Amino acid sequence: MNADGEGRSGRPLLLLVGGGTGLVGRALLEEFRRDHRIRSIHRSPSAREIALGVEVLRADIGLVRDWAPILEDVDLLVNLAWYRGGSDRRFRPLAEGLERMFVAAAAARIPRVVHISVPPATPELEAHLPYMVRKREVDAALARSGLDYAILTPTMLWGPGDRLLTVMLRTIQRWHRLPMFGDGAYHVSPVAAADLARIVRREAGRGGRTVVPIGGPRRWTYRDLTDRLFRALGRPPRYLEWSAARGRRIARFLETIGSTLIYAYEVDWLVSDLLGLPPYEGLDPPLKDVEPFLDAEAARLLGPRLASAPGGDG
Ligand SMILES: NC(=O)c1ccc[n+]([C@@H]2O[C@H](COP(=O)([O-])OP(=O)(O)OC[C@H]3O[C@@H](n4cnc5c(N)ncnc54)[C@H](OP(=O)(O)O)[C@@H]3O)[C@@H](O)[C@H]2O)c1
């Protein structure tokens, strides 16, 4: 990049995003569109991206054979593409495609790569879960590629349309209760997807080869966080108190009937107490608290009649 914010082509910086339509992708586009041209590759059409002037390439990363034209003039490559669940039949081709992408990016001398990975999980999940095993293969492929990179490992993310906290709020609103796995004393430190997008910008501007753990501003016990969800909806906390083993069994059953509500590995990861990562330091303005988001989402669910019932903090 030169002093005028121009990239390798002599035009404004070009960002290539793998998976620009998901939770993080939407936040990333908002963060970068003011000063980058954006090229985005994923499988489904996206009217929103087109409306924002993004160059959309519709492709399955696992099937791309020739990366050279896609990588042309790219100044920054950010990979977000991954699946939340499924068997190795899904993960393996995507992992192999991402490995080919990194090899091609090194050949094309892409100046900087930021790849979103996940925090460490239990030895069992690391050794056997296709989601995790293939993710680590992709991380390792980037580490040996010769590229200049940051691998970011955020914990639970939140933001408009997320599939964790927003879904839990909807579950409470509908059923007035939530399952609690074990004692709920394990930790989570949720991070805003918008903050992760700002961290991507910050880490993209740094050099070197780093792995960056990312937690949000507060390390909650899981039960304190779920209590806070109930409070946002103006309800007393009510739990189906399940052992972790029972939670895992029920999650596995839900998976077999095609539900994406919760995956068995997510129960294991949660209760392992490995998701309470320390806050990412150095953002200005600082990391956002989750409470205002919970209250706004709850007010939206409750509708205009009850929206004035505050969740309150404390
Ligand atoms: N959400 C969290 O709480 C969380 C926490 C820690 C880490 N992460 C990591 O952060 C990254 C982004 O997460 P997210 O929640 O934004 O995911 P997401 O909402 O599921 O979005 C995934 C994106 O990847 C694209 N994609 C998936 N498979 C693809 C394929 N084969 N070829 C091309 N594009 C593909 C999807 O678009 P199409 O479906 O159109 O292809 C979508 O744009 C992931 O790597 C995830 O593991 C997420």
Per residue of the chain (314 residues), give pLDDT as tens: 555 678 887 788 999 999 999 999 999 999 999 999 999 999 998 999 999 999 999 999 999 999 999 999 999 999 999 999 999 999 999 999 999 999 999 999 999 999 999 999 999 999 999 999 999 999 999 999 999 999 999 999 999 999 999 999 999 999 999 999 999 999 999 999 999 999 999 999 999 999 999 999 999 999 999 999 999 999 999 999 999 999 999 999 998 998 888 999 999 999 999 999 999 999 999 999 999 999 999 999 999 755 444 444 43
How many domains in the chain?
2
Per-residue tokens: 34: 């003011």
Most informative mutation of 31, 39, 41, 42 for ligand 1 (most atoms within 8 A of CB):
42
In angstroms, the CA 48 to CA 26 distance is 9
| Residue with CA closest to ligand 1 atom 19 | 22
Per-residue tokens: 289: 């608290």
Asked if 31 contacts 194 with a C-beta cutoff of 8 angstroms, the reply is yes
Asked if 171 contacts 178 with a C-beta cutoff of 8 angstroms, the reply is yes
Q: What is the Å distance from ligand 1's center to 149 Cα?
A: 19
Host H or E run for residue 194 = helix 193-204
Looking at residue 101, its pLDDT comes to 98
Looking at residue 6, its pLDDT comes to 82
- Establish if 210 belongs to a structural domain: no
Q: Are residues 28 and 55 in the same domain?
A: yes
Ligand 1 pocket by C-beta < 6 Å: which residues?
19-25, 41-44, 60-62, 80-84, 94, 116, 118, 154, 156-157, 164
Q: Are residues 172 and 284 in the same domain?
A: yes
Per-residue tokens: 36: 């980058």
Q: Are residues 142 and 79 in the same domain?
A: yes
* Residue carrying the six token digits 């056997």: 128
Q: Are residues 20 and 143 in the same domain?
A: yes
Q: Are residues 169 and 142 in the same domain?
A: no
Looking at residue 310, its pLDDT comes to 47
Looking at residue 259, its pLDDT comes to 87
Other Cβ atoms within 10 Å of 218 Cβ, number: 17
- For β-strands 187-188 and 178-181, DSSP reports them as unpaired
Cβ contacts of residue 116 below 8 Å, gap of 6+? Answer: 24, 78, 79, 80, 82, 152, 154, 196, 200
- Domain span at residue 247 reads 165-187+218-302
CATH of the domain at 21: 3.40.50.720
- Establish if 314 belongs to a structural domain: no
Asked if 196 contacts 30 with a C-beta cutoff of 8 angstroms, the reply is no
DSSP class of residue 182?
T
